[in-house]
Structure 1
């Protein structure tokens, strides 16, 4: 049981601090993964960024993913080939489905990142973080997309997940750190005392805090760095829309 996402991140950071991680970059799956990742980024003195994943649903069954789009330049499209074959989807049909989800991915990118490009992960140790995982599907998509971007190593960090999910993710990533692997997995909120839903504005507040702390530790005399400035503008917009 974790007090909240921040405590989960602090406990994960203690485990990762035992490892020798070269050039770590922490990537959070929003929204719930952001406070967890923020604590890890601060403890490891590593940059923090978001990894935005948008599911592409099957025709007539939007909850069943035929593919996913991962934000990047250009975006990565990861296909669920088994589902694609089950539905007999041709390339043109897939293109239509994928195109239908791009506007929402663009909206999230604009909200969270503004005009900033994602951090480069080439040659870095990528730490992908969420507040937990049931099936691990979104995490798998994130891992596969990151593999295309030439990282040194991919580490998955989770406070809690079923043992079978951890085993599956270990087939995809170089290393999986999971603090709790209950035999009978319940709803994710069961493992937290405080588990509020986060708004876009709260996500941006956290990102801004980490950027300012990192700027201060690098000797910039507290001046806002470009990432934090962009986050501040996006935060103001998100607040206005809520």
Structure 2
């Protein structure tokens, strides 16, 4: 069976692609299904599919064999369990010798083994015997890696193999129909040159994001979340990105939006769980944005606790190229203040408020220079801001005058090995006249990249916001 879309539009990113792909796979949910991703780019796509289907998420490590002088052109692929797939036509046309092929395969086999250890550790692959396996990648180009993955899960005992991707060439089914029982694709645009051309954001997926998504999937499985209902709802959150809901209807909201602020249109992602008890706006640091995996990790933890989140870009792409803007706290703070007001949060007022958040108690989460912007906004909005959390932030950049006017309870979180920033936080904390606390995460550096460090930050932020936001919802949310 082949399922393909008919009208193509660009995907915002792999998460967006995963949600749209999941919408075509709804009939596959249930305890008999396992979702298997091709790292690294396929994992964010597959994570959304696994949530929607209420299925466990695993990986199948595959490495493309690239032509020596043109590595992006695949001449085959290798996978776990010794699987090897070659494209003899590419090898012949590219005049690749046996020695060259062996050299490429040797290098890629070493990388495959490294990644398998990195992603899976000592855990064995998921047991797929007698089950439906949905193999997911971020797209199909030559099809070599997808072919290898399907062969691996079939050899491991899968009863049914479904190959699902967001985008592929028009002839992809001719290439792959013999290795899968069902082929599902959101769209097959023509002409087709490369997978990345159909994504607005096709930035490289890092190991840290793969590990985070796999850990979250294991946690959902342990907690019994989404036990096969296949309804696409995770912890009361609409992962399909619907445009409506999240007020009093009992539906969650997860959507992209653009908020005008100080003459600029700022892109953001709004997530509102059903029955949200508050909303937290994220102010990103220098060189970061709404797709920061660290802030998304924290935001996901807040969403699971019943807190709405807005992750948005404080600067436009053109403005980011001027490094002076990154440290312009006045500019960043004014943008954040304008966005907070448009949410209609805190005191229930706002300029053209976002209806899903109107009347929700407002919190601010700032990282790096974004922490200074958050405190600037807290000083400007006064009681409308009920809590602030800074992650590895530079609160000192807000200035002594603004720090002295902050009334919102403020939590400063710094890694113990981030010594310079820790000292700056101590000094800034002494200027705060509100309830405040400085928490030092042991053996953590500035980005909290050490195992468990970011989870500790997320836990601290969740507890702080629940403590100061829950129970303060405004009646103005009810029309």
Per the alignment, in what secondary structure is the counterpart of residue 163 of structure 1?
Answer: coil
User: In structure 2, the residue corresponding to 1:18 is in which secondary structure?
Assistant: helix
In the other structure, the counterpart of 2:217 is: 210
- How far apart, CA to CA, are the structure 1 residues paired with 2:91 and 2:225? 48
Counterpart CA distance in 2 for 1:178 and 1:210 is 23
Please state if 1:18 is matched with 2:21. no
- Equivalent residues in 2 for 1:192-231, closer than 5 Å: 192-217=199-224
1:217–1:96 Cα change, 3 Å = same
Superposition RMSD on alpha carbons, in Å?
3.1
Q: Distance in 1 between matches of 2:225 and 2:31?
A: 18
Change in CA separation of 1:204 and 1:83 when aligned onto 2, cut-off 3 Å: same
2:146 pairs with one of 130, 139, 143: 139
2:190 aligned to 175, 179, 183, which one?
A: 183
Paired with 1:98 and 1:195, the residues of 2 have a C-alpha distance of: 26
Q: What is the CA-CA distance between 1:170 and the residue it aligns to?
A: 2.2
2:41 pairs with one of 21, 32, 51: 32
Deviation of the 1:7 alpha carbon: 1.9
Distance in 2, matches of 1:19 and 1:30, equals 22
Provide the C-alpha distance between the structure 2 equivalents of 1:67 and 1:187, rounded to a whole number of angstroms.
Answer: 17
Distance 2:23 2:185 in 1: 12
Distance of 1:208 and 1:121 partners within structure 2:
19
Q: Which residue of 2 aligns with 1:166?
A: 173
- Structure 1 distance, partners of 2:176, 2:132, is 17
CA distance in 2, matches of 1:133, 1:82: 18
Tell me what 1:224 maps to. none
Q: d(CA) in 1 for partners of 2:139 and 2:119? A: 21
Q: How far apart, CA to CA, are the structure 2 residues paired with 1:62 and 1:141? A: 18
- Name the residue aligned to 2:79: 70
Gap change, CA 1:64 and 1:36, over 3 Å in 2: closer
Q: Deviations over 1:160-195 (max 9, x none)?
A: 111112332223211011011112114323322333
CA-CA distance at 1:21 after TM superposition? 6.7
Question: In 2, Cα distance between the equivalents of 1:32 and 1:57?
Answer: 17
Q: What TM-score do you get using the length of structure 2 for normalisation?
A: 0.41
Closer, same or farther in 2 for the Cα pair 1:15/1:99, shift >3 Å? same
Return the TM-score normalized by structure 1: 0.75
Which of 7, 30, 42 aligns to 2:16? It is 7
Structure of greater Rg: 2
1:68 deviates by 3.2
Q: Name segments (4+ residues, structure 1) moved above 6 Å.
A: 58-64, 82-88, 93-97
Indicate whether 1:107 and 2:121 are aligned.
no
Separation in structure 1 between the aligned mates of residue 121 and residue 11 of structure 2, nearest angstrom: 32
Q: What are the residue-to-residue correspondences of 1:73-92 with 2, within 5 Å?
A: 74-80=81-87, 89=98
Bigger helix share: 1
Q: For 1:20 and 1:84, how far apart are their aligned partners in 2? A: 40
| Cα deviation, residue 137, structure 1 | 1.9
- Segments of 5+ residues of structure 1 without an aligned counterpart are 220-234
Q: Partner of 2:36: helix, strand, or coil?
A: strand
Extract unaligned runs of 5+ from structure 2.
1-9, 227-448, 454-479
The 1:205–1:66 alpha-carbon spacing in structure 2 relative to 1, beyond 3 Å, is same
Q: Which residue in the other structure is 2:421 paired with? A: none
Deviations 1:213-232, CA, capped at 9 Å, x for gaps: 2222259xxxxxxxxxxxxx
Structure 1's 126 and 66: CA in aligned 2 closer, same or farther, altered over 3 A?
A: same
1:5–1:36 Cα contact (<8 Å) kept: yes
Match of 2:51 in 1: 42
May I ask how many residue pairs the two structures share in their alignment? 219
Contact residue 78 and residue 144 of structure 1 kept, 8 A? no
Alignment match, 1:227 = none
- Bigger RCO of structures 1 and 2 (CA < 8 A, at least 6 apart): 1
